[in-house]
Structure 1
Amino acid sequence: MAPQLGADALLFVGDLSDGDLRLVKRITQLTCPVAVILGNHDRGKDRSGARLQQQLTLLGDRHCAWALRAWHAPAVGIVGARPCSAGGGFHLSQAVQAVYGPVTEEESARRIVEAACRVPNDWPLVVLAHCGPTGLGSEASSPCGRDWKKPAIDWGDRDLALALERMKERRRADLVVFGHMHHHLRGGQGERITFHRDRAGTLYVNAACVPRTGLDASGEPLHHFTWVEFEGTVPTLVSHRWYRPQGDLAYEQTLHRAGVQGGI
């Protein structure tokens, strides 16, 4: 249904499947600009890295781990963070090490910053990650808060937080998009906070609505997308949207609108 939405580009925050290649192949068939960061589940149960490498080969430069994915129409720079993150600070799975080598926390942050430095100043600078950074709160309901085990702690990525802080020396990120931490909290604890704006003005949005499909009150299917609009480098609208299969909008939860204070 991507063509019906009228979006200029699509970003995928990972955990596409448990190593199943079918969805990856469908992504490669999309005609609009696409950027992907794979998640910790995308390697499946394969620790050798072979299944991960198959997906990377299919995606080509659509997968932007530690790299810049840029388009001129629309003009936007997408900077990929560490691939296949499981959150919780910094850890490389055996599969990731088999494909990328023994990357350190410092090296990971450096690669993200170097990619960001290549984005022109008049383009939106978007960081695409599987798990968000540390520093967004340590409650279970925080954007990257651990909700499946007590005590609740900050389960974000340290290398991403380090990179975002260093990026401010030249230019802060305009938007950080991530997933991994599901909107519905475990054990009936409620809903996760999915939007944050820091003091520097960077917006953070958690797009991990799981499952991404559901039914409305009448039993009609709905599909979830996180929607962002820019004017120049300024994100003017961030919202969670639920669409019907035909592409018409059924419901929208506005998280941020430029000029409106007190976003959710």
Structure 2
Amino acid sequence: MSSQKKTSMVKIAVVGDVHDQWEEEDGIALKHLGIDLVLFVGDFGNESVNVVKAIASLDIPKAAVMGNHDAWYSATDWGRRKCPYDRTKEDWVQQQLDLLGKIHVGYSKLDFPELNLSVVGSRPFSWGGPQWKNNDFYEERYGVTSFKESCDRIVAAANSAAYETIIFIGHNGPVGLGDRPEDPCGKDWEPKGGDFGDPDFTEAIASVRAAGKSIPLVTFGHMHHSLRHTKKMLRKSLVATENTIYLNAASVPRIVQNNSDRLRNFSIVTLKAGVVSQVSLVWVGKDFTVASEEILYEQPNQVVQTA
């Protein structure tokens, strides 16, 4: 009976870019919120093994994808020059991946039988944008050398999923959600404007949709809600299409001190019968009650069923 209930209604928490802001209270807050599934969109910190270790031990069904900061000292020449550890003796990227194990769904998938859905990850460690970057890193770790090969890896993961309902998570979002600086993957640094989404992610979503899978949610982070070029507005965090909700969950900083209260944010997505019925951004206080809630989306023309 309980699994039947979970299948018909699923409460998902999306944790935006963590950037070292993860505390024991976050796990407690998720329990208080009654979450069925937690999705992490990466940027735990600059190869922050301890943060990943804490998140890996979280006792709630979960999936994660790594962000660009999670390979901060490994993916680029300038990052390697600043590396604080001996890369001939240690590999903090691999340590993070080992800690997460199957929970890391970058180029992979994880099936959730109780929830009747699968979570598929896009390209891990994405920096975003229309140019293929960090080729040596991707070739060495994944044997991938182009957007096409990357797309093929994502599609193969989705094709191996056990369920017809697919939730996609990425660090950066897909291209095609707008080219203004304030759009979900818009470029808000100089020169401003331009779609900085991942083209391989977009192609993969289209291919999986064409194969007949249902994709109610695509969620990601990377592009923080607070914009670099203006404080008069926030980044647009959600795009709703007929069949899919695209959600940027990167509300950073995700933990803030507000006078005597300590507030932490989560993006909450409610699925009903495999369709997104509501999305909100909540801030949970130190007493684990919801201090504020911003409704980002509600399914139009919801039919209220009576017994």
TM-score by length of 2: 0.79
Q: Which of 230, 240, 245 is the equivalent residue of 1:203? A: 245
Q: Does 1:24 align with 2:52?
A: yes
Q: Indicate whether 1:215 and 2:243 are aligned.
A: no
Q: 2:250 is aligned with what amino acid?
A: A
Higher relative contact order (CA 8 A, sep 6+): 2
Per the alignment, do residues 161 and 145 of structure 1 end up closer, same or farther by CA in structure 2, a change over 3 Å counting?
A: same
Residue 157 (structure 1) aligned with residue 198 (structure 2): yes
Question: Which residue of the other structure, out of 167, 170, 179, is the alignment partner of 1:126?
Answer: 167
Equivalent in the alignment of 2:287:
246
- 3-state SS of 2:229 partner: helix
Question: Structure 2: any 5+ residue segments left out of the alignment?
Answer: 1-27, 81-86, 303-307
Aligned residue in 1 for 2:158: 116
Paired with 2:122 and 2:189, the residues of 1 have a C-alpha distance of 24
Matched, 1:79 2:107: no
Q: Where does structure 1 lack aligned partners over 5 or more consecutive residues?
A: none
Q: What is the alpha-carbon distance in structure 2 between the residues aligned to residue 161 and residue 214 of structure 1? A: 33
1:12-161 equivalence runs, <5 A: 12-47=40-75, 50-93=91-134, 94-120=136-162, 124-161=165-202
Question: Do structure 1's residue 259 and structure 2's residue 300 form an aligned pair?
Answer: yes
Question: Are positions 1:187 and 2:229 aligned together?
Answer: yes
Shift of 1:99: 1.7
Greater Cα offset, 70-79 or 59-68: 70-79
Q: Secondary structure at the match of 2:98?
A: helix
The letter of the residue matching 1:29 is S
Residue 173 of structure 1 pairs with residue 215 of structure 2: yes
Q: Give the fraction of aligned pairs with identical amino acids, expressed as a percent.
A: 34
Give the Å deviation of 1:233.
1.0
Kept in 1, the 8 Å contact 2:45–2:51? The answer is: yes
TM-score scaled to structure 1, two decimals? 0.91
2:18 alignment partner in structure 1: none
| Secondary structure in 1 matching 2:152 | helix
Task: Give runs of aligned pairs for residues 220-239 of structure 1, distance below 5 A.
Answer: 220-239=261-280
Q: What SS does the corresponding residue of 2:53 show, helix, strand or coil?
A: helix
Q: CA deviation at 1:74?
A: 2.3
Aligned residue identity for 1:254: I
What secondary structure does 1:182 align onto? coil
Distance, in Å, in 2 between the alignment partners of 1:221 and 1:84 is 30
Count, aligned residues: 258
Question: Structure 1 residues 55 and 202 mapped into 2: Cα distance closer, same or farther (>3 Å)?
Answer: same
Change (3 A) 1:64 1:90: farther
Which of 10, 18, 23 pairs up with 2:38? 10
Residues 73-128 of structure 1 show CA distances to partners (whole Å, capped at 9, x for unaligned) of 2222100000000101253424343322333211211222222234455x532000
CA deviation digits over 1:9-29, x for unaligned, max 9?
111000000012111110121
Q: Which has the larger radius of gyration?
A: 2
Q: Is the 8 A contact 1:90 1:157 kept in 2?
A: no
Deviation at 1:188, TM superposition (A): 2.2
In 2, Cα distance between the equivalents of 1:232 and 1:120? 17
Which aligned segments of 4 or more residues in structure 1 are displaced greater than 6 angstroms? none
- What is the CA deviation profile of residues 195-246 of structure 1, one whole-angstrom value per residue up to 9, with x for unaligned ones? 0012x42110000011101133x44110010101111211111111111133
Taking the aligned partners of 1:33 and 1:196, their CA distance within structure 2 comes to: 26
